[in-house]
Structure 1
Amino acid sequence: MDLSLATWLVIAVAIALANLPFLNEKLFGFIPLPAAGRGESPGAVRAKPFALRLLELLGLYFVVGLLGWWLESRIGNVFPQTWEFYAITGCLFLVLAFPGFVLRYLKR
């Protein structure tokens, strides 16, 4: 795999995973949340709280980071990163999550 393909793969996966918490009600896209109370039917869909969506977004940020690290290690040497790299990529991941946030909370 060449560098250009690996770069575009990480970007595409980052866009998909950044929007995943806002586009479905399951944890990480496939773990259903338990029903909230006794009065709910067993098949009822429970809405994820916003804090859980943010924690899921943080976890998916690390998944994308691990994918990028793995692809970088397969291409050549892994370069050491400082806190600035993680601050910038974290902000970029939040920007990539904005379309899902708009669809979930702002568009009625």
Structure 2
Amino acid sequence: MTQTASIGLLMILALLAANLPFVSNRLFAVLALKNPKNLAVRLAELVVWYFLVGGLGLYLEQRAGQNAPQGWEFYAITATLFLTFAFPGFTYRYLFKHRA
């Protein structure tokens, strides 16, 4: 896989993973819950998805042979980008009126 393809794959996966907690009522899209998820559970799930996608990005970077050390600035920017990716799902879940 080329480096451009792995970056594109990672961005698409990040976009999907960031919206998954807000679109699905299941925990990690697998486990059914007795009660509906509240915002705190959705945000905790979002943090877990951030670390999973980040781990995949680290693996792809290591596989390409260019593992560069990162400071706190990198993680602040990627977390902000992940939250920006999550905005459509948040808007769908909490800002649109859903008919019963």
* Aligned residue in 2 for 1:11: 11
5+ residue gaps, structure 1, are: 36-45
Q: In structure 2, what is the equivalent of residue 89 of structure 1?
A: 78
What is the TM-score of this pair, normalised by structure 2? 0.94
Q: Partner amino acid for 1:14?
A: A
CA RMSD of superposed structures (Å)? 0.7
Bigger share in helix: 2
Name 1:76's counterpart in structure 2.
Answer: 65
Paired with 1:31 and 1:72, the residues of 2 have a C-alpha distance of 31
Instruction: Find the aligned partners of 2:71 and 2:28 in 1 and give their Cα distance.
Output: 28
User: TM-score normalised to the size of structure 1?
Assistant: 0.88
Aligned length: 97
The gaps in structure 2 that reach 5 residues or longer are: none
Q: Distance in 2 between matches of 1:10 and 1:74?
A: 14
Moved over 3 A (4+): none
User: Of the two, which has the highest radius of gyration?
Assistant: 1
